[in-house]
Amino acid sequence: MSVRIAIVDRDYCKSDKCNFECNRFCPIVRAGREIVWLDEEGKAVIDEQGCIGCGICVEKCPFHAIEIINLASEPNVPCIHQYGVNTFRLYGLPILRYGKASGIVGMNGAGKSTAINILSGKIYPNLGQLDTKPEPEDIIKKFKGSELQRYLKDLYDKKIRISLKPQDIHEIPLVLKGYVKDLIKFVEDKDLFDVASEMLEIKSFIDKKIEELSGGELQRFAIGFAISKNADVYFLDEPCSYLDVYQRLRLAKLLDFLLDKGKTILLVEHDFSIIDYLCDTVSLIYGKPKVYGIVSLPYSTNAGINAYFEGFLPHENVRIRKNPIKFYMKSLERGEFSPYKYLFWTDLMIKLGDFELEVQEGSANKGEVLGIVGPNAIGKTTFIKSLVGEIKEYRGNIYAIEQSNKMSYKPQVFSFENEDLSVKEYLQLINSEYSKNEWINEEIIQPLRIDQIYERKINELSGGERQALMVASCLLREADIYVFDEPSAFLDVEQRLALAKLLKKYAQTFRKLVIVVEHDLLIHDFTADSIMVFKGMPGKKGIALKPMPLKEGFNSFLKDVDITFRRDKRTNRPRINKPGSSLDRYQKEIGEYYYLE
């Protein structure tokens, strides 16, 4: 059963005109416990921990300012699938609609991959029955009256073909061996593969062995193979991992091509921009990671993403987050204050083999988040490695105001020196006082869910858990400059939002310089004070422009990507305009690619 609590709409609460009746009639207050009180603005506040959800205050409030809502908790109904006794349980399944693109959003470990494996036929749901195996008729009957009934009947009657792009692409080299050009001879539909190959530029690495592919190349190879199956329904589990912004937009156009052919798509993704851009509906999965997951009813994409940010699901009347995530409108100009200028570099020339990077003269400030954007293999990592001293052979100079400055660096590809240590032991080596610091625990450890893996050894952690640990350990080091190379990779939606808030708050609170290389534009929009754009020819020559104000930097970058952004009216989050729409054409015409003020 969900825990029911009372909440107060502050715009309607007028306690000074009602004799504070929500307090006078509350049975918990009358029993001697303070649970309803007035805040500094004279508005009623109801304690979530003590409220029993009896509903008396709702009836007594003359201004209808109080509502009863549910807090997320495990339902007291049979689940759809359970892996074993006292193991993870999934309640509900996302809705698919033929000929449409549907999305799934939620935390890691909440059941997204389990849901996609059930709908693709890879897992046969047991309906919570561990001793007996349900018949297909039982499963279909479970969803009688819903859109899933028809789909599951078609699936079990083998009337539809399925193609699944798995989440863990690193297992592919363990199964497939040889050169890419030899493996693509075995694709099922060569015409579909040719379309995917052209859009995703797969031919650029066909002369490589499968085990030599980078993460981005392996991802594009996996997507191309999945799409070439000529299926009726395509399941893509986190296809944007390792892809840069350009490649993500090309992927979206490829999936649009499939939709035009009448195909059905179910997309699991942490990049809200891509989900918003591509999908017609979205299902939200919430619950307790690795314990249980609950699938929401389908929402329109815009309404569903907004509900996720606001932390309240109106269809279910459930609150899934205590505080909403808000995008505040901030100045698009860069603060150029000499006292805060900290890191400087002259024009730089860096050569690594056949690759050459030119960097324009620039500077970065204390208390600032400098966002770095650009395609893969354009020199972003090369530049920050030069800043932190890992690359020392270049023409030009890099210097800070304080010559004794310390840097803390989270690299793109990383490993831990001793993976036999527990997470707690490792963090103690980084900062022995961290557990005594309330700010660190509330702002770093808990939001990144490090406290949930304290006792586990590092070699037992998943990719997302290792990433969160590396980000946390970088922030726990005492430094003047913090540098992060793709810190959101493998992190789920909740952790990405927590990371964005954390980096912004860290720079402002402690007057530190934070430099972030990231492909998720939502994180840059939330955190960055200035933008550094990288252009050129990937793998051959890169040109790094000087740091620019947000408006100038995003306009320069988005013009190259050929997309425009607008602001959502409810949450202020950035949204991609549909190509060719009236707003897209207008913004391109006046040169405002970021958004209209």
Q: What is the pLDDT of residues 297-312, one digit of tens each?
A: 999 999 999 999 998 9
CB atoms within 10 A of CB 578: 12
**Which residues does 198 contact at the CB level (< 8 Å), separation at least 6?**
none
Which residues of the chain are in CATH 3.30.70.20 domains?
Answer: 3-71
pLDDT at 319: 87
Q: How confident is the model at residue 339 (pLDDT cuts 50, 70, 90)?
A: low
pLDDT at 80: 92
Closest CA to 528 of 362, 367, 305: 367
Across the range 401-422, mean pLDDT stands at 83
CB atoms within 10 A of CB 135: 10
37-51 burial string, b = 16+ CB within 10 Å, else e? Answer: eeeeeebbebeeeeb
Lowest mean pLDDT among 121-125, 156-160, 461-465: 461-465
Q: How confident is the model at residue 548 (pLDDT cuts 50, 70, 90)?
A: very high
Per the listing, tokens 């003020």 go with 597
pLDDT at 403: 59
Residue 163 has pLDDT above 90, yes or no: yes
CA 450 from centre of chain: 17
Q: How confident is the model at residue 1 (pLDDT cuts 50, 70, 90)?
A: very low
Of residues 198 and 335, more confidently modeled: 198
Contact 91, 294 (CB under 8 A): yes
Residue 389 has pLDDT above 60, yes or no: yes
**What digits encode the pLDDT tens for the residues 414-440?**
888 888 899 999 999 999 888 888 889
pLDDT at 377: 87
Q: Where are the beta strands (DSSP E) in 232-381?
A: 233-237, 264-268, 281-288, 292-295, 299-300, 312-313, 318-319, 341-345, 348-352, 355-359, 362-365, 369-373
Residue 72 has pLDDT above 80, yes or no: no
Which amino acid does the sequence have at 272? F
Of residues 352 and 76, more confidently modeled: 352
Yes or no: domain 3-71 corresponds to CATH 3.30.70.20: yes
CA distances from 551 to 168, 327, 345, 578 (A): 37, 16, 23, 20
Residue 340 has pLDDT above 80, yes or no: no
Cβ neighbourhood burial of 483 (10 Å; 0-12, 13-18, 19+): buried
Across the range 99-116, mean pLDDT stands at 91
Which residues of the chain are in CATH 3.40.50.300 domains?
Answer: 95-161+231-247+261-324, 338-561
pLDDT at 393: 87
Cβ neighbourhood burial of 31 (10 Å; 0-12, 13-18, 19+): exposed
Which 3-state string (H, E, C) describes 403-432?
A: CCCCEEEECCCCCCCCCCCEHHHHHHHHCC
- What is the average pLDDT value for the chain, to the nearest integer? 88
pLDDT at 464: 85
Residue 566 has pLDDT above 50, yes or no: yes
- Tokens representing 569 are 């009216």
pTM of the model: 0.81
Looking at the structure, give the CATH architecture of the domain made up of residues 338-561: 3-Layer(aba) Sandwich (3.40)
pLDDT at 325: 82
**What digits encode the pLDDT tens for the residues 167-212?**
888 888 888 888 989 988 888 889 999 999 999 999 889 999 998 8
**What digits encode the pLDDT tens for the residues 219-257?**
999 999 999 998 999 999 989 988 888 999 899 999 999
Distance, CA of 532 to CA of 515 (rounded, Å): 10
Closest CA to 537 of 201, 199, 179, 181: 201
- Tokens representing 405 are 């400055």
95-161+231-247+261-324 has which CATH code?
A: 3.40.50.300
pLDDT at 2: 56
pLDDT at 336: 58
Cβ neighbourhood burial of 565 (10 Å; 0-12, 13-18, 19+): buried
Which amino acid does the sequence have at 361? E
- Tokens representing 511 are 């007057």
pLDDT at 71: 65
